């Protein structure tokens, strides 16, 4: 079974974000880049499917500038067989939908039986790529999955998607798109052998023209980034516990009107 995993490189969760001088992009000075955590669950699940079936191929795909190769290299070190890097200045202002069109074109080239994604990338938090990819491909999808199992013939995947208050378990005919929620698995750490081996694995570059994509402008336009409005200064309520608790409840009731 061939599985394609779409991943994104994002700043580490501990990063303090600063706006760059253009007011539209982040200041990338000193940022540690990682594979978006939900995408690691997707990579891990793809590798487990391959291992369980005893055969198959896992291809990692990502769109972004040169630095994205490092993220793809991490996926190869975890065990992916090869990678596709969509690296073209034409995509510098791509919105979610243009990115998804590029990914869909790769899926059509590669013809996998399953596409796995993280539920959302933790930078722009749009969370739209998995569903939009399924729509562009005309495939079924299940988002925010907590479990999956593929039947022996490789025709159907049973996936449990997280909804409010329940897990809805569906049978989806393959090919299909799944997006990973935290809790699906515990991603492995690359071994030293994996890291060494990754250096020899293929990262194929893809350009917009190779994918036969027409030039298109984004449907959603970024106007700028803004700092969060500062929170008003708070106060520490002094006194022993009974006094402080009484004062807190009074303040929540009378000042903040929160209760």
Partner 1 sequence: MPGAFWCIVEDDRKGFPKKVTAEVIGEAIRLAGAAEALWVTDAATEEGLRELGAWGVTKIWLLQHPAFSPYQGEVWVPAVADLVAKESPKAIFAPVTARQREFVARLAARLGAGLAADTVGLALEDGRLTARRPVYAGKLLSKVTWAKPPWIATLRPNVFRPAEAQAGRTAAVERPAIATPEPRMKLAERREEVSTGLPELAEAETVISGGRGMKGPENYVILEELGRVIGAAVGASRAAVDAGWRPHRFQIGQTGRTISPKLYLGFGVSGAIQHLAGMRTSKVIVAVNKDPEAPIFKVADYGIVADLFEVVPALTEEFKRLLDKS
* CB closer to partner 1, 55 vs 217: 217
* CB closer to partner 1, 47 vs 122: 122
Q: What's the closest the beta carbon of residue 196 comes to partner 1, in angstroms?
A: 29
Q: Which of residues 64-93 bind partner 1 (CB under 8 A)?
A: none
Question: What x/- string results for residues 209 through 248 when contact with partner 1 is judged by CB under 8 A?
Answer: --------xxxxxxxxxxxx--xx-xxxx---xx-xxx-x
Pick the piece of the chain touching partner 1 (CB under 8 A) from 14-22, 47-55, 189-197, 207-215. Answer: 14-22
For partner 1, which residue of 28, 127, 148, 198 counts as binding (CB under 8 A)?
Answer: 127
* CB closer to partner 1, 196 vs 248: 248
* CB closer to partner 1, 173 vs 209: 173
Q: Give the separation between CA 195 and CA 37, rounded to whole angstroms.
A: 19
* CB closer to partner 1, 61 vs 141: 141
Q: Give the separation between CA 5 and CA 130, rounded to whole angstroms.
A: 11
Q: Is 253 in the site for partner 1 (CB under 8 A)?
A: yes
Q: Which of residues 130-189 bind partner 1 (CB under 8 A)?
A: 131-132, 134-136, 140-144, 158, 160-173, 181-183
Q: Is 113 in the site for partner 1 (CB under 8 A)?
A: no
For partner 1, which residue of 1, 26, 195, 211 counts as binding (CB under 8 A)?
Answer: 26
Q: Give the separation between CA 115 and CA 117, rounded to whole angstroms.
A: 7
* Nearest residue to 39 (alpha-carbon basis) of 82, 70, 85, 71: 71
Q: What's the closest the beta carbon of residue 203 comes to partner 1, in angstroms?
A: 27
Q: How many CB atoms lie within 10 A of CB 179?
A: 29
Q: Give the separation between CA 76 and CA 83, rounded to whole angstroms.
A: 7
Q: Report helix, strand or coil for 161.
A: strand
Q: What's the closest the beta carbon of residue 63 comes to partner 1, in angstroms?
A: 16
Q: Is 99 in the site for partner 1 (CB under 8 A)?
A: no
Contact predicate 3/58, CB 8 Å: yes
Burial of 102-135, coded b for 16+ CB within 10 Å and e otherwise, reads bbbbbbeeeebbbbbbbbbbbeeeebbbbbbbbe
Cα-based torsion angle of the residue sequence 74, 32, 117, 227 in order, rounded to the nearest 10 degrees = -170
Q: Is 203 in the site for partner 1 (CB under 8 A)?
A: no
For partner 1, which residue of 2, 33, 37, 211 counts as binding (CB under 8 A)?
Answer: 37
Q: Report how far apart, in Å, the C-alpha atoms of 259 and of each of 242, 245, 249 are.
A: 19, 14, 8
Burial of 225-235, coded b for 16+ CB within 10 Å and e otherwise, reads eeeeeeeeeee
């Amino acid at each position: 079974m061939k599985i394609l995993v779409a991943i994104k490189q994002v700043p580490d969760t501990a990063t303090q974000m600063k706006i760059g001088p253009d007011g539209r992009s982040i200041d990338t000075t000193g940022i540690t880049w990682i594979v978006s955590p939900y995408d690691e669950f997707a990579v891990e699940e793809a590798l487990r499917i391959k291992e369980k079936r005893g055969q198959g191929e896992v291809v990692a795909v990502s769109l972004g500038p040169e630095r994205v190769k490092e993220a793809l290299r991490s996926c190869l070190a975890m065990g992916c067989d090869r990678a596709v890097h969509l690296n073209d200045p034409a995509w510098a202002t791509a919105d979610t939908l243009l990115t998804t069109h590029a990914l869909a074109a790769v899926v059509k080239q590669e013809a996998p039986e399953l596409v796995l994604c993280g539920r959302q990338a933790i930078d722009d938090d749009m969370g739209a790529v998995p569903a939009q990819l399924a729509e562009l491909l005309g495939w079924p999808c299940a988002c925010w999955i907590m479990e999956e199992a593929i039947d022996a013939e490789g025709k159907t995947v049973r996936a449990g998607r997280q909804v409010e208050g329940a897990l809805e378990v569906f049978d989806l005919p393959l090919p299909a798109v799944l997006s990973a929620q935290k809790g699906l698995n515990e991603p492995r750490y690359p071994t030293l052998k994996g890291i060494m081996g990754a250096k020899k694995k293929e990262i194929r570059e893809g350009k917009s023209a190779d994918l036969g994509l027409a030039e298109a402008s984004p449907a959603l336009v970024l106007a700028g980034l803004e700092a969060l409005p500062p929170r008003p200064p708070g106060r520490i309520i002094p006194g022993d516990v009974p006094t402080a608790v009484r004062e807190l409840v009074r303040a929540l009731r009378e000042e903040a009107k929160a209760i």
